[in-house]
Structures are given as structure tokens and as C-alpha cells.
Structure 1
Amino acid sequence: MNNKNLPNLVVSIFPFILLTCLRPCNTTNPSSKKPEFRGIFVFGNSILDNGNNNFLNTALKANYLPYGIDFQFGATGRFTNNKNLVDHIGDILKLPLIPAFSNPQSKGVAISQGVNHASAGSGILDATGSNMELYNIGARKFAFLNIGPLGCSPMARASMRNKECNEALNYAAFLFNIQLIQMLDVITTQMPGFQSVVVNVFQITLEFIRNPSFGGFSDVSSSCCEVSEQSGGVLCKGGGSVCSNRTSFLFFDGLHPTEALYGIVATRAYYSNSTSEVYPFNIQRLAQV
């Protein structure tokens, strides 16, 4: 494979988001001082899935309303009401919507600025293998999205008597996130040129759960859509009811956030200078080093 034909940026998630520069990222537009990426590769799970599962033999799909109720193209397979996290990162990078890999039309010019491989239900081993392959063909700069506070999702709360957060699940996520950073520290010493950023989705999301008004939220515990019992309270019920004030809800279904949270996370991932939100620096800086 010719590395010169690959986009600069690769995004992957489960349970992290990965941004990888396959060529030097400090290439700038002569008229702008901001480093630019030419495209994005995406790997991961339902947080980033933009329609791959529509073409796969699986029950985990979001190609029906109310998913996509606010999206310009309707229900495309995104597990939220509008744009997902990678869409917002692409907006910041001034890139077009990245096509789904499984879509038969995703070929030729359509994938000249990247392609999205993310699939709902994919596992950590899938992502790990993809990441190593990317490194072997030249990937050197990575930004990982850690696990959010799963215990505070509507699905997890539903199993609690008091409907509060399941702190056991949150603690498990917290421990994983610590080990993620420790693992990256080791990898940095073993893989020449490897550089990484960790976006602390756990902390950012928990901030709004504890102080909803900080993000303009009024409901951080319920799902915006009516969830399906058949999905275990995770997915929206097809044709079911949906809240009207979607920008005020943190969660769209029993597990996945609304676009409102995705937009905040993407902005902080790129611009925040707080090491409690993105460590050791933000994605903008990653493009410069």
C-alpha cells in the first residue's frame, strides 16, 4: 500500500477513539497557521457507526426513526438524533461527512478523504488489531477516547432500585481508563515515533451529570426516545415517542448520547488545554508535534 495515498487522520473507537497521522501532520495551508488533516479513517463501535451495520447481518441497527430525527439525511445508521462524534470532529477539521465502509457506493472518489469502518457491537480486539496494522503502515499519532461513565446511562440506572448511577460499572470504567494510560506509556517506549492523546470522556460526561446546567442540560438520567424492551432498554423503539427538547437531554437512547454531548466532547478534544479533559495535550497540538 502506498502511504502517500492515505488520509492524514484515522479515527477508531472501542472503547477509545483513535486519531492517527499516516503522514506528517504539521503540513499547513499557506493561508492558515492551523495544521490540517486531509482525511479521516474511522474504526470503532456504535459511538462512531454512521451506517455500516445497515449492510451487515445484525440486529444492532439505527436506520429507523427516531434515530436521525434531526439529521439532514434522516435515519442513516447513526445511534443518535443528529451528527455523532466523528461527524463533529470532521466539522472542526473542515472535512465532508465520511462514508460508511460497508456501503457499496463507498469507493473511488467517495473515499478520497477517508472512510468509516466503525460498527455497532464491535469488540476491543477488533480495534486493537486495526490499530497495530495502522502503525505498521505508518500511523504514528493517536488520540484515544476513554470509556464514559457507563453506570450513569439510562440503561444502567433502570436496573438500580433508586434509579441512581451504578457505581460498580463506573468504577470498572475508571479502572480501565487508568490502565489505558499506563498501557500507552509502555507503548510509547516500545513503538518508535508513537504519540498519543487521551480524551477523558468519562470526566467530561460526569461533569454534566453532576452539574447539568454547565452544558445546558435539564435531563441527564433519562433517554430522549422511548426505548425498546426487546433491546434490553438500549435502543430506541421504532416509531416510538421522542422528546421535543433534544438539546436538553444528555442521552438519546438507553446508552448513546445526544448530538449535544457529542459536540461538546469533540470541541474539548480539539481545543481544551485542561489535562483533566485531554491528556497530555489536545488534538490540535497533536497535529503540530
Structure 2
Amino acid sequence: MASSRQLLISYFLASMASSLVVAGPQVPCFFIFGDSTVDNGNNNGLATSAKANYTPYGVDFPDGPTGRFCNGKNIADVIAELLGFDSFIPPFATASGTTILSGVNYGSGAAGIRDETGQQLGELISMNKQLLNHQTSISRIVKFLGSEEAAAKYLNKCIYAVAIGSNDYINNYLLPKHYPTSHIYTPEEYAVVLTQQYSQQMRTLHRNGARKVALFGLGLIGCTPDEMATYGTNGSCVTMIEDYVQMFNNRLKSLIDELNGDFSDAKFVYIDSYEASLSAAYGTGVSYTTTPCCHVSLSLGKAQCAPGTVPCSNRSSYAFWDGFHPTEIINTYLGERAYSAKSPYDAYPTDIKGLAELQLGEDQIQPKDKLKNWRWSMIKSLFSGPMLGGF
């Protein structure tokens, strides 16, 4: 039997060794769902005009044009760094092996809450399809960890970020030639329908193990160069679109309370992209102008950079990279405020940092039996809300 002196020495050496270990990520994994604001390559192989795997996209990103709709990092990249990950979360399209244990990015340019959203641009991965892709990832994680119970405990500790909804307006409700939604619903009714479908999708995510979920509200989509040019406002934000954004965001805030009331074993938070975007000009020194940094292509819907063109050189002075998407400096600012709120308006009821620090008790871990029948529950959810067009 070891003496007390030997035990003390062993304890001292173990303590010294642990102090030398480099701190890892604050959570074991980070899963990302959404649209072009977070897409990092999932659209590259799709037959769509909504892709960004060509220059000048990625001019300031270490790997060049990867499919990110930005000159550099998108907001998901910024948050991944702040969470302590030493590499960016891979897109589902190329994620393989044990790399998925750190998380997967399912984002897709032009994607929406509704399945038909954005389809006039070509192929995309809607939110419902992203949830199906996540189930594929879960099945792989189960194999890596050895059991559904182990996978459930692992997933319960991860951060889930969802940034979607803008295209349900830009590439759906505001395009009456392509979609009937504006003829069927008033703006207020449409906000209700969207959040009802969103609610079902978040409940599916919860059934599949998500316990720490950040939902991003819509940003200043009525103030983008593309929308201002479309509506000819001479540099002013499109008031009608901003009113729609507020209707949706107000409903989304209420959904946060509803989900937290229904699930005592989870925490859903709201990230106020709108208010943070309003303060971005003061926080970064850039000005919101009608001119994007890159030269946009009329053939790509006035929103995306023309292939092979030379962008502006002073990119840190521009808020918008192309006709719709922010520059890296804005993404960094928004990501930092989403991670660690600088204002009571930034996040509710806590920020992503607070979400990462949240400790869930063992009695709140999802039971093994609730992780069964994933695909059946997903199929049922696909048909639980009103669907228009598309499929």
C-alpha cells in the first residue's frame, strides 16, 4: 500500500501536469444551422447561383474562397474561435471521420425556414434538410462513442447556433412573381406562420439532443445595398422590410420564452442581430452605405460579387462585402457581441458565453429511449406545418 508521502507526491505531480495542459474548447462541439451568413461551403457542389467559392470571395481568408459569403470569416467562424476551437467547424458537405465530434456546419446559402424558399436560385439545403443532415451526423457520433446514451450526454453539452429566416422574406415573401406567400398571408400572419414552423424545427432539434441553443434574429436586411437598390430608396433603408423584420423578431423573442417554458432541461437564447447591427457603425467605425466592397454581378441577382473582379482595398471601412453580406469586420463585431453581450439588448436571457458555462444536471440528460426513432420524428415534423411551392 502506498505511504501518505507517496500519495502526496503523486497528487502534487498530477496537479502540476494538469496545470500545464492547454485549455481546450469551452464546449465539446458546436453545431451551426442557417443560411449564407454562416454557409462555409455546403453550396459549393450544388446547382445554384447562391454560392461563393470563387474570387474575390475569401480574399482575406487563409484558405481563399471556400464558399463563405464574405471577404474573410463569417459570424460562425468568429464564435467558434471565441468558444476556443482551434480550427473552424467543417461544412457537412466535406466533414468526415472523427472531425464531426467537434461539430458540423449545415448552413446553406438561400436556405430558409420554409422548404420552398430560395428555390428560384437553384438547389439549396433548407432548414428541414439541415435537420436531416444533423441526424446523419448523430448516427455517426453514436458509432464513435459506442452508444446512444453516450452520444446523448455528449450532445447535451454542445452549443447549437441557428441563423435563418432572412431568405423567407428576401427570397420568398418579397418575390410575388415566384412565391404566393404575400398573396396568402398578411405580414403579421406570415411572421406567425414562420415562427410556428421554426418552433417545430427547434423541437425536433431538442428531441435530437440539443440543450444549449442560440437563435439569431434577423438583421438589417432592409438596409442592404441590394434591397435599397431594388426599391430605389436613394440610400435609405426600406421601411417596409424593416417593419417585417421587427414583426418576425418580436415573434422569435416570444418563441424563446415558449421553448424555455416547455423544456426545463434546455436553454434557448435569442441573439439580437438587429440591435447589434445598428450599433456596428459606432463600434467599428465603418459606415453603412449603398456601395458594397466588391463589384456585384447583375447576372447573379445584384447581390453577389462578379467573379474574378478586384474588390475595394480598404475593406475595414465597408460594412457590406457584397449586395447583402457583411464584411469580416462587421462579422467579428457581431460575433463578439453574440458571444459576450455588451448591452442588455444583445442577448436574452443570456449570451453564448453564458450558454457555454451552463451546467445541466444528470437528471436533465435526455434518456436513451428518447434518441430513438429520429428519422420517423423528423419525417412527421416535415409535414406538421403549411408548405407552399417547391416540393
2:304–2:322 contact (8 Å) kept in structure 1? yes
Report the equivalent of 1:152: 223
TM-score when scaled to structure 2?
A: 0.62
Q: Deviations over 1:55-104 (max 9, x none)?
A: 2222211000110011110000000000111111111112111111112x
Report the equivalent of 1:63: 53
State the one-letter code of the partner of 2:238.
Answer: N
Runs of 4+ in 1 over 4 A off after TM superposition: 29-35
Alignment of 1:180-191 (within 5 A): 180-191=252-263
Instruction: Report the CA distance between 1:188 and its aligned residue.
Output: 2.0
Two-structure CA RMSD over aligned residues (Å): 2.1
Which one has a larger percent helix, Structure 1 or Structure 2? 2
Inter-partner Cα distance in structure 2 for 1:174 and 1:139: 27
Q: Among residues 60, 80, 86, which one is paired with 2:70 in the alignment? A: 80
Does residue 247 of structure 2 align to residue 178 of structure 1? no
Q: Unmatched 5+ residue regions in structure 2? A: 1-17, 115-125, 128-197, 359-391
2:283–2:333 contact (8 Å) kept in structure 1? no
Alignment of 1:15-94 (within 5 A): 36-94=26-84
Instruction: Report the CA distance between 1:161 and its aligned residue.
Output: 4.0
Report the equivalent of 1:114: 103
Which one has a larger percent strand, Structure 1 or Structure 2? 1
Q: 3-state SS of the aligned residue for 2:32?
A: strand
Compare CA radii of gyration and give the structure with the larger one. Answer: 2
Inter-partner Cα distance in structure 2 for 1:167 and 1:196: 30
Report the equivalent of 2:241: 169
Report the equivalent of 2:147: none
State the one-letter code of the partner of 2:91.
Answer: A
Report the equivalent of 2:303: 234
2:256–2:270 contact (8 Å) kept in structure 1? no
TM-score when scaled to structure 1?
A: 0.82
Q: 3-state SS of the aligned residue for 2:319?
A: strand
Inter-partner Cα distance in structure 2 for 1:213 and 1:282: 21
Inter-partner Cα distance in structure 1 for 2:215 and 2:54: 29
Q: 3-state SS of the aligned residue for 2:227?
A: helix
Q: 3-state SS of the aligned residue for 2:31?
A: strand
Return closer, same or farther for 1:112/1:183 CA change in 2, 3 Å cut-off. closer
1:273–1:282 contact (8 Å) kept in structure 2? no
Inter-partner Cα distance in structure 1 for 2:272 and 2:340: 13
Instruction: Report the CA distance between 1:130 and its aligned residue.
Output: 5.2
Q: Among residues 204, 208, 213, which one is paired with 1:133 in the alignment? A: 204
Instruction: Report the CA distance between 1:273 and its aligned residue.
Output: 4.7
State the one-letter code of the partner of 2:110.
Answer: G
Instruction: Report the CA distance between 1:34 and its aligned residue.
Output: 10
Report the equivalent of 1:9: none
Aligned residue-pair number: 256
Alignment of 1:228-267 (within 5 A): 228-267=297-336
Inter-partner Cα distance in structure 1 for 2:24 and 2:65: 34
2:235–2:289 contact (8 Å) kept in structure 1? no
Percent identical: 36
1:221–1:250 contact (8 Å) kept in structure 2? no
1:219–1:248 contact (8 Å) kept in structure 2? no
State the one-letter code of the partner of 1:150.
Answer: I
Q: 3-state SS of the aligned residue for 2:323?
A: coil
Q: Deviations over 1:222-258 (max 9, x none)?
A: 2110001012211111112311110111100000000
